A and B are shown apart, each in its own frame.
Chain A
Amino acid sequence: MSFLNVIRRRLMFLILVLFGVTVITFTISNLIPGDPARMIAGDRATPEIVQNIREDLGLDKPLPIQYLRYLEGVVQGDFGNSIRTRRPVLEDLRIFFPATLELALTALFFATALGIPLGVASAVWKDKPIDHFVRVIAVTGISTPAFWLGLLVILLFYGNLGWLPSGGRIDPSLEMPTRVTGFLMIDSLLAGDLTAFGSALKHILLPAFTLGFVHLGVVARQVRAAMLEELQQDYIRTAKANGLSRFKVVFTEALPNAMIPSITVLGLALGDLLYGAVLTETVFAWPGMGAYVVNSIQALDFPAVMGFTVVVSLAYVLINLAVDLIYMAVDPRIREVS
């Protein structure tokens, strides 16, 4: 099956997934006790005020009608207005989603850039001190709560050393670069504003480290396991017998093959990072979707919660599609089977 056919089939599947997501989220949202109209009106509002709001929002209509109206809007790119912020949900997501994605991708870059060399090193020097060190890093990463690690690094790098800011995306005294991608580091470079870029880079270092630290261990352990398997293979023995240097055997022969299963881990990690950024965003005052969706849940802001769910689901499916395509690109066996 060609790449194009895979993409076509998966995109059709995507429509079904998104439809299912909207049905489930809408149903769950409406099963939760609590009245969004009351949340808007405030505690002390009279029943008449609450009823007016209910009618204005269409919450007095039967659930299937409410759902169909919602779906009609979604198909036209209208996710409705947020009950909490009174603004279009899509507009809110356009602001918050790139911030979360920028943080998740930077965290993934950090986890990959450090995790792969550490994984390779621990495989090459199996049961040596470096291997034990990587094991400690992996266990620490998985077992350390992100909010706690976040506070520790803030205390160290902001409170004690004063090297890095404690939170936010950019120094608030700086002018924001013109929004092109929503990724501050890229937008500031596009605007040629090095000061803004430096500030954005400084601001993302601690949250990206905190968020990526968990996955650093996972990536390192995954690469280690795959490398150990590859290093036992006959073609490695042949390469060594042919006099290839150790560096070449590891990095040009074993590593490319060991990376294939790691692609899945990285794809899943990106998904985890997207919706797992909530705590990190809270600790670092990172204006992403985490705080937005948590506040929306507390305010029973169903349009915002559903918008978030649809966007994250879409991202998840697209990441999986990308992983499958990369698999097909790098591994001819999979391409043939497909």
Chain B
Amino acid sequence: MKNSHWFQVVGAAAVTVGMAVNAPVAMADGDADLLVVAKASDPQTLDPAQTMDNNDWTVTYPLYQRLVAYDVSEDGKGLTSVIGELASTWTASDDGTVWTFDLASGNAFSDGATVDAAAVEYSFNRLMDLGRGPSEAFPGGMKVEATGDMQVTFTLEQPFAPFLYTLANNGAGIVNPAVEGKGDDHGTEWLSANSAGSGAYMLTGWERGQSLVLEPNPNYGGATPEIEKIRVDIIAEAAARRLKLEAGDVHIAESLPVDQLDALGSKDGIEVQNYPSLKVTYLYLNNKVAPLDNVDVRRAISAAVDYQGIIDGILDGNGVQMHGPIPEGMWGQNKNATQYSYDLTSAKKALDVAGGASEEISFLYSDRDPLWEPIAIATQAYLSQLGLNVKLEKLANATMRERFDTGEFGIATGNWSPDFADPYMFTNYWFDSKRHGLAGNRSWYSNDKVDGLLQQAVVSSDTAERTALYGELQEIVTDEAAYVYLFQKDYRIAVRDDVEGFVFNPMLEDIFNFGGMSLSD
């Protein structure tokens, strides 16, 4: 009797498990209403006033609208120019300090509340009050005031030429003022895990470390999105992301390494898309420490690097050499500025002019970007041909950043992508002597003339004048080899071929225009 009970229990358990395990499992492939994106890591916070990470912006950007948005060309390419999104029209005072925006009607937050001037005023005041990273893109002392139900006015203490473009930034997302009632500190804790925007989608679920779900905002003022559900799956391992893409369980796999992308290029049903990007990789040459404080040593280093060799060998050809600090695709680039190329003879000549360099040069890098280590090793080899003694130091990323900030390094490698579409991002940040360290001027470069050009360029509202100022600046800083300008790496992404309508914008890496995308049957 006792034994028969056991058999019954075990038998029932086996049947239960068998039924459960054989239950059907929904797959993404074939479901035209569900788009699945595979990302490597969970967002940190979804509060637009707090997040500084493109990884978070994949989710936050489609949840919110901004006063302006990046335009799309007639042939479907993402542009760096802006058009109105929440704003229908705007005007700026002659001196560029007062900006008035009239809001379009018909936009609403996901709870049905109207997006009005009070909401815009609230969002910017919240952003500046919190004073976190995203607030840095906007000029200090900026005043925002609702000057009508649907009109808002920004008053700047002094002209800030890129101002209009900063409004397309993720941090400029307009937040429903109702978040104020969601706890202390402007509802930051609540908004870190919820959405309160007027974008095409709203957040409806977040299983931490596993997936986030977006569904259309029922009150969205624009065209109704075609895709009924977006799921962002968190899959840390690149090989697993690739396998899921191949199996049709995800439609878009982000952040795949070069070799995986190359392998996927030949698979049926998958497209590996390449886009020119504004993200650049460059070397910081610490202008304050010997021997790099000698301009001829920096010139020698710039001429000893095999740029094309790095692009071909490390990027598999998917990139282009930078031509000075302003990348291709951003207005203001000066093609007459010096572009160094691999020329060992002139490198040796420059080093001779400098009188040689016997000091050990530290080269910092971390594993934050898998390309940095091969770049460091290659650079060490290139510079050894000049007899330079380069010591590689692989550090934790946080430690490396600390060293940038204190200037305790010789050479280091880094990436940079713009927060708003203006050459300011590549000039004022990189060369202003007030921004030494992590804040942007990581080569600790100082030049009074350059500082003067930067100041003139930031207050001028005349694009032609700014182009000329930045043009002059580029000739100086490339001649003085403040940095080693390596490459612009292509943005590459693996997408299943049933995904339609994706528009890549070089200002919005890792961000998808979900509202305009669809899935073919």
Contacts and interface: CB of A to CB of B under 8 A. Distances in A.
Do A and B make up one complex? yes
B135 A168 contact: no
B461 interface: no
A46 B22 contact: no
Contacts of B233: 168, 172, 285
B209 A44 contact: no
B235 A167 contact: yes
B209 A34 contact: no
Interface string A199-229: 1011000000000000000000000000000
Contacts of B26: 171, 173-174
Nearest to B408: A33
A143 interface: no
Interface string A144-155: 000100110011
A52 interface: yes
Given A87-B192, A169-B210, A194-B19, A43 B401 contact: yes
Contacts of B45: 84-86
B21 interface: yes
B298 interface: no
Contacts of B42: 287, 291, 295
B405 A38 contact: yes
A158 B242 CA distance: 12
Contacts of A39: 398
Contact of A43 (B131, B243, B438): B438
B210 A49 contact: no
Given A87-B193, A96-B208, A292-B209, A49 B20 contact: no
B208 A92 contact: yes
Interface in B360-406: 396-399, 401-403, 405
Contacts of B401: 34, 38, 43
A49 B133 CA distance: 7
Contact of A198 (B22, B213, B249): B22
Nearest to A283: B237
Nearest to A147: B237
B246 A159 contact: yes
B207 A172 contact: yes
Contact of B247 (A81, A158, A171, A287): A158
Contacts of A18: none
Contacts of A159: 243, 246-247
A151 B209 contact: no
B57 to A, nearest CB: 12
Contacts of B21: 198, 201-202
Interface string B207-229: 11111010000000000000000
Contacts of B211: 168, 172
Given A288-B209, A291-B209, A34 B239 contact: no
Interface string B16-35: 11011111011000000010
Interface in B114-144: 131-136, 140
B20 A96 contact: no
A156 to B, nearest CB: 11
Interface in B40-64: 41-42, 44-45, 47, 50, 52
A28 to B, nearest CB: 13
Contacts of B438: 38, 43-44
B237 A41 contact: no
A154 B236 CA distance: 14
Interface residues on B, range: 35 or more
A95 interface: yes
B135 A166 contact: no
Contacts of A288: 209
Interface residues of A, number: 67
A286 B399 CA distance: 28
B243 A158 contact: yes
Most A CB within 10 A of own CB, among B244, B399, B440: B244
A298 interface: yes
A291 B403 CA distance: 26
A34 B399 contact: yes
Nearest to A195: B23
A166 to B, nearest CB: 5
B429 interface: yes
Contacts of A171: 25-26
B314 to A, nearest CB: 23
B510 interface: no
Given A44-B136, A172-B211, A285-B233, A86 B396 contact: no
B346 to A, nearest CB: 33
Nearest to B193: A87
Contact of B236 (A86, A170, A282): A282
A326 interface: no
B234 interface: yes
B316 interface: no
B17 A40 contact: no
A40 B133 contact: yes
A148 to B, nearest CB: 11
B340 to A, nearest CB: 26
Contacts of A165: 25
Most A CB within 10 A of own CB, among B25, B209, B239, B249: B209
A194 B398 contact: no
A298 B237 contact: no
Contacts of A194: 16, 19-20, 23
Interface in B423-451: 429, 438-440
A79 to B, nearest CB: 14
A42 interface: yes
Interface in A291-325: 291-292, 295, 298-300
Given A43-B438, A169-B210, A299-B44, A285 B240 contact: yes
Given A86-B189, A172-B210, 17 more contacts: A33-B402, A41-B132, A41-B133, A42-B133, A47-B439, A48-B140, A53-B132, A166-B240, A166-B247, A167-B235, A167-B237, A168-B235, A194-B16, A197-B16, A282-B236, A285-B240, A287-B209
Interface of B: 16-17, 19-23, 25-26, 34, 41-42, 44-45, 47, 50, 52, 131-136, 140, 188-189, 192-193, 207-211, 213, 231, 233-237, 239-240, 243-244, 246-247, 249, 396-399, 401-403, 405, 419, 429, 438-440
11 contacts: A34-B399, A43-B401, A48-B140, A49-B132, A86-B44, A86-B188, A158-B243, A159-B246, A172-B210, A198-B20, A284-B237
- The list of the 6 closest CB pairs from A to B, nearest first, reads A287-B209, A198-B20, A42-B133, A34-B398, A42-B52, A173-B26
